[in-house]
């Protein structure tokens, strides 16, 4: 039997180990690259993402690394960032030399040390940008452009993300490629219920953080109740460490509005599909820019009408979807109007949602994503890479 040559080694680096949008996209990226490369994934610590990656046949290592977060603006966070930087240099260099011969894939722009260390180790790197902070001060945006600026190639998850990046760093346009996110569809799509008997079931999916707008979802429910619309709201998600105060504020606002029997905090769940199946209308009320809008695409795939903030990557994510309404961020009256539009013409909106689900599956197919991402890494390594005979290797190809 002819022995196949070893596959080129790619190191994939990610700043966390949870299972929110960017984490799930990292899983899809690593699986995509594993169809052509020998992939090692480096994470800063333990978490549910480790088990998710290993279940899909991927090799995972933990490596101390500096991650740019808001906490670094405080003294304790700055000290931790410095410690992670100093103590993470040697382990990172060892990983780069052993696992990154064909390239280093840096997921998000919060890891600027990796492309810098890659250069020192003689490795080429690609930065996958998922952030688009158009309203941030220019100095902050320049700091956020450091990671892609140090990388040999850049991948942006939307045209909006690319445009925000090159507005700050115009020289990056020529080395930036837009690759729309893969979004694995549910095995079965449960159609919307035939009639809205009983309360309208609203759903918010995402981090419980001020920028994601769960407070807008709660205020929208309060406005609907004031208009005599029978509705309920579920909030699916949890807070970042250090943002527990916001969840407390949100729970207080629910209590003060007399909505304790109509709002349910579901906490974090690794899968969103059962909550989407149980909903009627999905709310994506971000009050700041979103680079893409994964939760919006998932709502479309689940065949649920949705209302999104009329801004940035959210508008791009639902372009062409008849079941989606884009509304001014934070304008509670208009958000309530949008929900009422759906409730008063349920047959039309639910039929549109079913039709949109099929198109979303095609647009965000993992196979399309894998081909485009592999092409970027092939260019990075300077040679085409042939997948092993019989297709993708190990569980990474067939999981889910």
Do 121 and 259 sit in the same domain of this protein? Answer: no
Output the pLDDT for position 70.
Answer: 65
Q: Are 125 and 104 in contact (CB under 8 A)?
A: yes
Residues 292 and 329 in one domain: yes
How far apart are the C-alpha atoms of 335 and 146, rounded to whole Å? 37
Q: Indicate whether 308 belongs to any domain.
A: yes
Residues 355 and 379 in one domain: no
Residues 300, 157: one domain? no
3-state secondary structure (DSSP) of residue 309: strand
Residue 191 lies in a domain: no
172 and 222, same domain (yes or no): no
Q: Is residue 190 part of a domain?
A: no
Does 272 map to a domain?
A: yes
How far is Cα 241 from Cα 47, in angstroms, rounded to an integer? 14
What pLDDT was estimated at residue 248?
94
Say what the pLDDT of residue 12 is: 97
Based on the domain organization, do 172 and 27 belong to the same domain? yes
In angstroms, rounded to a whole number, what is the distance separating the alpha carbons of residues 7 and 172?
Answer: 30
CATH number at residue 155: 3.40.50.2000
Per the structure, the complete domain to which residue 92 belongs is given by: 9-182+365-398
In this prediction, residue 243 carries a pLDDT of 83
- Within 13 Å and on the Cβ side, how many CA atoms surround 382? 6
Please give the chain's pLDDT, 400 residues, in tens: 556 678 899 999 999 998 877 888 899 999 999 999 999 999 999 999 999 999 999 999 999 998 877 666 567 767 877 877 788 799 999 999 999 999 999 998 888 899 999 999 999 999 999 887 776 677 767 777 889 999 999 999 889 899 989 988 999 999 999 998 888 888 888 999 999 999 999 999 998 999 999 999 999 999 999 999 999 999 999 987 778 999 999 999 999 999 999 999 999 888 899 999 999 999 999 998 888 888 999 999 999 999 999 987 888 889 899 999 999 999 999 999 999 999 999 999 999 999 999 889 888 888 889 999 999 999 887 766 555 444 433 333 333 3
Number of domains in the chain: 2
CA–CA separation, 176 and 165 (whole Å): 9
Based on the domain organization, do 35 and 15 belong to the same domain? yes
Residue 165 is assigned to a structural domain of this protein: yes
Asked if residue 155 belongs to a domain, the reply is: yes
Residues 154 and 263 in one domain: no
- Examine residue 188 and state whether it is found in any structural domain, yes or no: no
Query: How do beta strands 324-327 and 306-309 pair?
Result: parallel
309 in Cβ contact with 326 (< 8 Å): yes
Do 211 and 120 fall within a single domain?
no
Strand, helix or coil for residue 291: coil
Assess contact for 108 and 131: CB atoms under 8 A. yes
Output the pLDDT for position 399. Answer: 32
Q: Considering the entire predicted model, what is its pTM?
A: 0.75
Looking at the fold, whether 34 and 167 belong to one and the same domain comes out as yes
Instruction: Kindly state whether residues 20 and 169 are assigned to the same domain.
Output: yes
Query: Are residues 210 and 293 located together in one domain of the fold?
Result: yes
Domain membership flag for residue 193: no
């Amino acid at each position: 039997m002819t022995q196949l040559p070893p596959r080129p080694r790619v190191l994939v680096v990610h700043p966390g180990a949870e299972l929110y949008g960017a984490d799930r996209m990292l899983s899809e990226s690593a699986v995509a690259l594993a169809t052509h490369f020998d992939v090692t994934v480096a994470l800063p610590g333990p978490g549910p993402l480790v088990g998710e990656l290993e279940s899909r046949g991927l090799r995972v290592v933990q490596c101390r690394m500096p991650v740019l977060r808001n906490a670094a603006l405080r003294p304790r966070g700055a000290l931790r960032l410095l410690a992670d930087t100093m103590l993470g240099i040697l382990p990172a260099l060892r990983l780069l030399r052993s696992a990154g011969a064909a390239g280093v894939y840096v997921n998000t722009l919060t890891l600027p040390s990796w492309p810098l260390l890659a250069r020192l180790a003689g490795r080429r790197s690609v930065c996958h940008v998922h952030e688009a902070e158009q309203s941030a001060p220019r100095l902050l945006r320049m700091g956020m452009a450091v990671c892609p600026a140090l990388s040999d190639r850049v991948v942006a998850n939307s045209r909006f993300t690319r445009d925000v990046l090159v507005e700050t760093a115009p020289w990056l346009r020529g080395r930036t490629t837009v690759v729309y996110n893969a979004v694995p569809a549910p095995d079965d799509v449960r159609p919307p219920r035939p009639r809205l008997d009983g309360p309208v079931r609203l759903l918010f999916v995402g981090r419980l953080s001020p920028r994601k707008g769960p407070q807008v979802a709660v205020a929208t429910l309060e406005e609907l109740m004031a208009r005599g619309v029978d509705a309920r709201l579920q909030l699916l998600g949890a807070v970042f460490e250090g943002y527990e105060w916001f969840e407390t504020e949100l729970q207080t606002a629910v209590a003060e509005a007399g909505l304790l029997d109509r709002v349910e905090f579901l906490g974090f769940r690794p899968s969103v599909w059962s909550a989407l199946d149980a909903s009627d209308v999905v709310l994506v009320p971000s009050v700041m820019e979103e680079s893409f809008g994964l939760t919006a695409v998932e709502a479309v795939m689940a065949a649920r009408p949705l209302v999104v903030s009329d801004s940035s990557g959210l508008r791009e994510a639902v372009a062409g979807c008849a079941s989606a309404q884009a509304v001014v961020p934070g304008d509670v009256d208009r958000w309530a109007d949008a929900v009422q539009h759906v409730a008063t013409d349920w047959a039309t909106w639910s039929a549109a949602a079913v039709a949109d689900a099929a198109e979303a599956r095609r647009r965000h197919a993992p196979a399309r994503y894998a081909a485009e991402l592999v092409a970027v890494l092939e260019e990075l390594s300077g040679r085409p890479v042939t997948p092993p005979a019989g297709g993708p290797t190990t569980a990474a190809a067939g999981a889910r």
